[in-house]
């Protein structure tokens, strides 16, 4: 991931699949491959993308993300990308871990610190998806959560320097 940041590598389908391959490194059959079966997430408030639309929707999302970065604050664009990526749910397993790796890759590329969604905040995190998919598709809740984590990380970093 450090190499991707240092090279300022754009987020592409190849990068997404490479990150997924790291997450599922012990699953040779599924790593880096879009799913070809229907899946469901318990408690999800929206339908996941059918497998026959994944390729098309991932290509569109990656293209739209480049535009989002030009017209939105970068954290808002990253939050929206994450919400939509998880909504597509392109892989059979490892979508959350891959999505959070992508989120941190994009944060670090823009000069922010990586964040870790705390287990104790998992309900807040899941509520971000409910808010996005049940409303006007605004990434406000996840944007605020990421900003809160960024602030905590910066304060922790400053404290270490003191």
Per-residue pLDDT in tens (0 to 9) along the chain, 162 residues? 777 777 888 999 999 999 999 999 999 999 999 999 988 777 776 788 999 999 999 999 999 999 999 999 999 999 999 999 999 999 999 999 999 999 999 999 999 999 999 999 999 999 999 999 988 889 999 999 999 999 999 999 899 998
Measure Cα distances from 62 to 2, 16, 26, 59 in Å: 21, 10, 26, 5
CA–CA separation, 17 and 5 (whole Å): 16
Q: What is the pLDDT of residue 41?
A: 79
Report the C-alpha gap between 153 and 114 in whole angstroms: 8
End-to-end CA distance of the chain: 29
**pLDDT for res 42:** 74
Report d(CA 83, CA 72) in Å as an integer: 15
**3-class SS of residue 118:** coil
The single-letter DSSP state of residue 51 is: G
**In 7-162, alpha helices (H):** 13-23, 54-71, 74-88, 95-109, 122-134, 140-161
pLDDT of amino acid 45: 67
Beta carbons of 90 and 49 less than 8 angstroms apart? yes
- Of the candidates 58, 66, 78, which has an alpha carbon nearest to the alpha carbon of residue 13? 58
104: CB partners within 8 A, 6+ apart: 1, 114, 115
Q: In CATH, what is the architecture of 2-161?
A: Orthogonal Bundle (1.10)
At 103 the pLDDT is 97
- Structure pTM? 0.92
Cβ pair 106, 65 in contact under 8 A = no
């Amino acid at each position: 991931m450090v190499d991707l940041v240092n090279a300022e590598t754009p987020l592409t389908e190849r990068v997404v699949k490479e990150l997924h391959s790291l997450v599922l490194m012990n699953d040779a059959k599924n790593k880096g491959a879009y799913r070809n079966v229907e899946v469901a997430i318990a408690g999800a408030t929206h339908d996941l993308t059918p497998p026959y639309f994944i390729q098309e929707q991932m290509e569109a999302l990656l293209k739209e993300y480049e535009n989002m970065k030009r017209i939105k604050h970068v954290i808002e664009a990253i939050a929206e990308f994450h919400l939509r990526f998880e909504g597509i749910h392109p892989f059979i397993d490892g979508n959350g871990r891959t999505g959070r790796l992508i989120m941190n890759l994009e944060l670090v590329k823009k000069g922010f610190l990586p964040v870790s969604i705390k287990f104790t905040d998992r309900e807040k995190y899941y509520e971000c998806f409910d808010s996005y998919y049940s409303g006007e598709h605004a990434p406000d809740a996840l944007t605020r959560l990421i900003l809160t984590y960024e602030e905590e990380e910066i304060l922790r970093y400053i404290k270490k320097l003191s």
